[in-house]
Structure 1
Amino acid sequence: LSALFRRKDMPLFLKAQQQFIDTYRQALPAHFNPDDALCNLHYIFLLNALFHCLRSETISEYQEKKRMPLLRQKYDYLLGLLDKQEQIATIHPL
């Protein structure tokens, strides 16, 4: 998912993400809590995507291709995920 997020436009990524999550839920063994598993999945995605999207090489690439509005859209999406993670952590502390 992180590679798709970095390389593709948001509509394509969001469609692929939903398909992945649906398949992931179905394949998840019953002894795992689906909400916890998805929370962990989103957290790992968030860390990985932030790492790659904040690299100077990534920013330069988007600047060269005149795609900075798309990068901004991706930053906004990631910040929204971060807000959701913080809300979940507040509701369900470890």
Structure 2
Amino acid sequence: MNALEKELRRVAKGATRSAAVSVSNDEAAAGAKRRFSATRLAAHRAKLGLSAAIYGQLVGVSGQTIYHWEQGKARPRAAQLENLASVRDLGAREIAERLATQ
């Protein structure tokens, strides 16, 4: 009886581990999990020399929203995190081109 209980615990542990692996694989398939840092956002905007309003245009939000994110009063939603990541990957010329077309 003890041997069967031990085997059952071992199998149950393996099932839990494989379930955890499948969850992490699902997350990877859905896209990378994005992290947000208010100080990094402020530093990136300052590095580019852009106002919050202009940076907000690039991301698709208002300048006030950018201020709130930088001050930690609010956090961006998942879709907004994706937009932030795409802006972060742009160079100065690409940003100027985007602003010219808007």
Higher Cα radius of gyration: 2
Which structure is higher in RCO with an 8 Å CA cutoff and minimum separation 6?
1
Q: TM-score, normalised by structure 1?
A: 0.26
TM-score of the superposed pair, with normalisation by structure 2: 0.25
The structure that is helix-richer by fraction is 1
